[in-house]
Chain A
Amino acid sequence: MALEILYFAWVRERIGLPKERLETNAKTVAELVEELKAREERYAVAFADISALRVALDQDLSDFSASLEGVREVAFFPPMTGG
């Protein structure tokens, strides 16, 4: 399954890129995070504390236990600070 993965704010800065395409067999967001953490130190650092992160699946807020079935776009970012 090919996923478009987007990073925003300090997650983007720590990983060093705004987005990437990834082939994965991860079934849930949590599995995807484990796969990313195992890749390189910068991912392990960015995802060290997922309680400090939020995730959106196809542009809707979701959670780390959510299934990736049918999902095309996953975004990771810190809690939002609009307004």
Chain B
Amino acid sequence: MRIVVQEQPFDFAAEATAFAKGRTDLGAVVTFQGIVRAGDTGDMERMVIEHYPGMTEKALQKIADEALTRWNLGDVLVIHRFGEMQAGDQIMMVATASRHRKDAFEAAEYLMDYLKSRAPFWKKEYAGEKSAWVAAKDEDEDALTRW
């Protein structure tokens, strides 16, 4: 398992290729990459993600540990960025590897659902002179109940 919290961009293709490489017991790898969306009105110019150093790593570790107990996984990778990003930039990625695809798919969704509302990150969007903290959505909280 690897948990990375960093400001700089990461190489998604290189990470995906290196993940679970050489593990002949694992038949499935699922990867997900989160991208900064321009926003519904399209006027968002940049986003700044704040986080809680120390707790962030601890919370991600806890979420990944839980995924490892719930599904039969060979490996888990979570990379999440903080700091300033533009629309179209990558924010984060998760990768899961398992013997069969069902575990990898479900665990990847679980990781995404939990790190949206249980990992201490906060997004602030900027458009010209305006800025606003992104509000948490009820549906993100509701998504946790299915697990």
Contact = CB atoms under 8 A, between A and B. Distances in A.
- Answer yes or no: do A and B interact: yes
Query: For this complex, into which size category does the number of interface residues on chain A fall?
Result: 10 to 19
B105 interface: no
Given A8-B52, A10-B133, A75-B52, A81 B121 contact: yes
B120 A77 contact: yes
Majority secondary structure of chain B interface residues (helix, strand, loop or mixed): mixed
B65 interface: no
Nearest to B113: A83
A70 interface: no
B52 A82 contact: no
A8 B80 CA distance: 18
Nearest to B119: A82
A23 interface: no
20 contacts: A8-B120, A9-B122, A56-B120, A59-B55, A59-B58, A60-B55, A80-B119, A80-B121, A80-B122, A80-B136, A81-B122, A81-B133, A81-B135, A82-B49, A82-B80, A82-B92, A82-B115, A82-B119, A83-B92, A83-B112
